[in-house]
Amino acid sequence: MKPGQLRAQAATILSRLLQQQGSLATLLERPNDNAQDFPLLQEICFGTCRWFFLLDAVLSQLLEKPLKAKDQDIRCLLLCGLYQLHGMRVPEYAVVNETVAACLVLKKQWAKGLVNAVLRSFLRDAEALLARAQQSDAARLCHPVWFMRAARTAWPEQWEAILEANNQHPPMTLRVNLSRVSRQDYLEQLALAQCGAHAGQLCDSSIYLEHAEPVISLPGFAEGLVSVQDEASQLIPDLLDLEPGIRVLDACAAPGGKTCHLLERGLPLAGLVALDNDARRLERVQQNLDRLQLKATLACADAGQTAAWWDGQLFDRILLDAPCSATGIIRRHPDIKLLRLEDQVLALQREQLRLLAALWPTLKPGGLLLYSTCSVLPSENSDVIDRFIARHPDAKHEEIPAAWGVECAYGRQLLPDAAGHDGFFFARLRKDPETLLR
């Protein structure tokens, strides 16, 4: 790789992200060959997004005037440089040299002097610059103002802990395939492989690794003994009251973490339909099913357009793991801080209500629908259920009796826990057969 190339790549990714041209997941693709530099690129991109609001407040003190819109790439290059100096253990000379060299790769020779001066000024005066930057809440807590306001209103006692958890590196959590191996046995296999790990508290299938590991180095991964999945998501099968012989719909299924977990329970189901409107993501459901040697009926369609995919047979259980703001998983996807805008939340609420209303007629009387999101915002959670119930008299909310999380007006909320699970919401709706008869 030529000098400055990796930093230029990071700056280009961040600049495209700021222009809403994609997310880290879509812009940061692991190369098939020559992947040894990929972890560094990934860390620079993730870390710069995680600490963006602080780094940007530092940068604005170091620039005499803001950079022009056409020089966003240089702004992003500087932010990535500041992140490496402040948050990573890269030698200072390497950060400065590589970042200056990146100006040539970006074909902006004129910026070399500026980049050199800004990074060296930061090194001379880091403490004072950071202290001044942290006078603003957005920079100190490293979140967009709209989200801080929304979190504070919704969770007056927990909002700062939520933001703190969002700024941490997430743990790597595994789901043990209990139909193949017990959690204790798998913990022993991890110990033999010298992977530090401990059992989770919420579910009997969850394991936390002390350090992230490439999945291929996990014992029995290729054979389907284990999958990567946050602990909150692993609560789903219990909340869905699975029984032998029932028909299940997983309405927003990709990449299939929950679909596979439902099937791993090993119950003889009458069928499981896994639906998603994104064909590429649906391919990942099939790959996960194949690895775990499981079978489901896959369909690519808008769950809200039942005429396009439903054969008219009612479901006993529906899981609607709805598209949402993903504000409960910011620590895993720190680019959400930059990509998510306040007005998107209302649009998401409308979409969640549309999906609920469309799926409801496909549920059997007496059947159960589990609504879940990885959002911490009541407008996508309890409020959605409230509005849905108001328009559907046969929808009865069922409480979730549990020792975990916070009981909401409707449903139960897990808030992100720094060393534990993600932020997640669950609500159960039973279709009341009596109401239908009246």
Determine the Cα–Cα distance for residues 105 and 290; give it in Å rounded to an integer: 42
Q: Residue 226 CB, nearest distance to ligand SAM (Å)?
A: 16
Residue 122 in contact with residue 87, Cβ under 8 Å? no
Listed residue (73, 5, 14) closest to 34, CA to CA: 5
Residue number, 256 or 416, with CB nearest to ligand SAM: 256
Catalytic residue among 45, 252, 324, 374: 374
Minimum separation from the CB atom of position 358 to ligand SAM (A): 9
SS3 content of the chain, % helix, strand, coil (to 5): 50, 15, 35
Nearer to ligand SAM, 136 or 305 (CB): 305
CB of 250 to ligand SAM, least distance (A): 7
Residues lying near ligand SAM in the complex (CB under 6 A) are found at: 233, 252-258, 275-278, 281, 302-304, 321, 323
330 three-class SS: coil
Listing DSSP states for 267-291 in one string gives ---SEEEEEES-HHHHHHHHHHHHH
Residue 12 or 372: the one with the smaller Cβ distance to ligand SAM is 372
Q: Active-site residue 260, yes or no?
A: no
Choice between 256 and 420, CB closer to ligand SAM? 256
Residue type for position 8 = A
Residue 191: exposed, middle, or buried by beta-carbon count in 10 A (0-12, 13-18, 19+)?
A: exposed
Residue 168 burial (C-beta neighbours within 10 Å; 0-12, 13-18, 19+) = middle
Instruction: Please tell me whether residue 194 adopts helix, strand or coil conformation.
Output: coil
Beta strand segments in 183-335, E: 197-199, 206-209, 226-228, 247-250, 271-276, 297-300, 315-321
Under a CB-based contact definition with an 8 Å cutoff, are residues 107 and 73 in contact?
Answer: no
Tokens for 398, please give them. Answer: 């069922």
Output the smallest distance, CB 399 to ligand SAM, in A: 23
Spatial separation of the C-alpha atoms in residues 188 and 182, rounded to whole Å: 10
Q: Name the CA radius of gyration of the chain, rounded.
A: 24
C-beta separation of 374 from 166 below 8 A: no
The least CB distance from residue 285 to ligand SAM, in Å, is 8
**Which residue lies nearer to ligand SAM by CB, 155 or 424?**
424
- Of 176, 163, 236, nearest to 206 by C-alpha is 176
DSSP string, 350-406: HHHHHHHHHHGGGEEEEEEEEEEES---GGGTHHHHHHHHHH-TTEEEE----SSSE
**Tokens 């959690």 found at:** 183
Whole-angstrom Cα distance, residue 103 to residue 107?
6
Measured from the CB atom, the residue of 82 and 252 that comes closer to ligand SAM is 252
Instruction: Name which of 241 and 278 has its Cβ closer to ligand SAM.
Output: 278
CB of 91 to ligand SAM, least distance (A): 40
Please state the closest distance from residue 171 (CB atom) to ligand SAM, in A: 18
How long, in residues, is the chain? 438
Measured from the CB atom, the residue of 101 and 252 that comes closer to ligand SAM is: 252
Q: What is the nearest approach in angstroms of ligand SAM to the Cβ of residue 246?
A: 19
Pairing of strands 226-228, 206-209: unpaired
- Residues marked active site are found at 374
